[in-house]
Each structure stands twice: as C-alpha cells, then as structure tokens.
Amino acid sequence: MRAALLSTPKFKNLAEVKRILELRGWSLVKANPDYVITVGGDGSILYAESKYPGVPIISLNAGELGFLACNEIDMLEEVLSAVEKGKMLVDKREKLEFTVKGKKRRALNEVLVTSSTAGKALRLNIEIDGEPLGFFVCDGVLVSTPTGSTGYNLSCGGPVLEPGSGAVAITLISPHLSRVNSVVVSSSRKITVSFARENPGITVVADGLESVKISHSEKVLITRAKGKAKLVKLSRNYFSRLEKLFT
C-alpha cells in the first residue's frame, strides 16, 4: 500500500506511526498515494481532501472532538488490518463547487461568503435555480454540505444534515430583521449570491483553507461538485458520534 501521511504539529508520536506503517509494509509517498492517512482533527481531513481530492482518507483522531475523524489514534493497527483485508467501510461525502472570477474551487465542509471588513454587514441577494430567495443584510452566508453542517453552520444556528441526504443548508450569519436564518435545499440546486453596490470588500472562503476577494459587481455560483470525498472507517457510527455534539 502507498500512503501519504499528514499530521498536526501538535501530535508528538508521528515516528511511532511511521514505524508501524513500515513494519506492515506500507510505503510513505507524497504523490499518487492509494490512501491518505491523517493524524489530528477535522482540519487535517479538510486539508487532506484539498491536497489529494478523491483519495480515500484514513483519519485518526488525535485532537479533542475530531467529529469528522472516523477512528481514534489507538485504533491504527486495527484500521490498517481492515484496509489490508478489504473489510473497511468507505463513507462517500458530497462536496460543493463554487465559481468566482471564472475559476472553480471545491469545498468539503462549506462555502462562506463574508465581508472583508470586520464589523461591516453585507447586503446580498440569494437565488435558487434563478428564483429569488430574498435580499438580506447579514454578516455573511454559509452554504454547507451534510459534512460541514455540524461545524460553523451548526454554530450559526443551522441544521444538522445527515450524510447521504442529498441536501445543503443555506445559513445566514447574524441576519438583520430576518425571521428565518437557514433553509435546506437539494444539493442539485444552483445557488447564486449577488451583492448591492454599497457593500464593502467581499471574501469567499472554502473550508477555511482558501479565500478569494471579490467586488460587489461579481456573483458567486455554488453547485454540487463532481466526485466525492472518501472517508475510511470500521463501522457506521455517525449517530453515536453525533451524540457528542449534544452532551
């Protein structure tokens, strides 16, 4: 097996992980891996997917909550054994694609449209398949996949979406005089965000990793991406892990 190994700097036992991989006959590579092994939290998984899109990710939680990380670090050999025998599960997660300035970028968790100036609200229009959803004054808007629904989206009052539900959440951040701050739509929909002239600078962010600054004259088109992220795990434990968020 060929694997790329990515780890948070906070993890101090990476040498032991490398030793175990080498003893089991795994080759550590930087290009064209069969799997990506991440040691850390959810941020490590997002980075892995952006660096190696579509490559199965074996995630090992070495953080605090690590909700996306499907396995704990002390399960390393158990997970490797399951992969070697082909007895693991692969959880396929939808991603988003957004287009600005003629370029396309992808996100596993969410696309954030926000003000480039702290304390300045945005004035924006949202359309779903060309049909107006409304005009809003808010700090920003999140379009989240089910994977990202338990992150920033949840903190902003958005709903938790079950993976595989084929839905995305559109959640306003601190909306002014709006009775509803979140709407759930099919992931097959095309979401367009446009802006009023009096807006300050605008920033579009993918998974907190890559940001693009745009002007008020530009639009942001958000759609379902081709291809999916692949998370390797031993069991279907989504709801038992979800319990951690409520206790």
Each of the 247 residues of the chain gets a pLDDT tens digit; together they read: 999 999 988 888 999 999 999 999 999 999 999 999 999 988 899 999 999 999 999 999 886 666 777 788 888 999 999 999 999 999 999 999 999 988 899 999 999 999 988 888 899 999 999 999 999 999 999 999 999 999 999 999 999 999 999 999 999 999 998 888 999 999 999 999 999 877 778 999 999 999 999 999 999 999 999 999 999 988 777 777 777 666 6
Helix, strand, or coil here: 159? Answer: coil
| All structural domains of the chain with their residue ranges | 2-87, 94-226
pLDDT at 198: 76
State whether CATH 3.40.50.10330 applies to domain 2-87.
Answer: yes
Could you list the beta-strand ranges (E) of the chain: 2-7, 27-28, 35-40, 57-61, 71-72, 89-100, 103-107, 110-115, 122-128, 131-138, 140-144, 167-173, 182-186, 191-195, 202-206, 210-214, 220-233
pLDDT at 158: 96
Take residue 140 and report the two structure tokens written for it: 């920003």
Cβ proximity of 54 and 229 under 8 Å: yes
pLDDT at 165: 95
pTM: 0.91
Catalogue the active-site residues.
Answer: 42
Take residue 86 and report the two structure tokens written for it: 């082909």
Q: Which CATH number fits domain 94-226: 1.10.10.10, 3.50.50.60, 3.60.40.10, 2.60.200.30?
A: 2.60.200.30
pLDDT at 64: 61
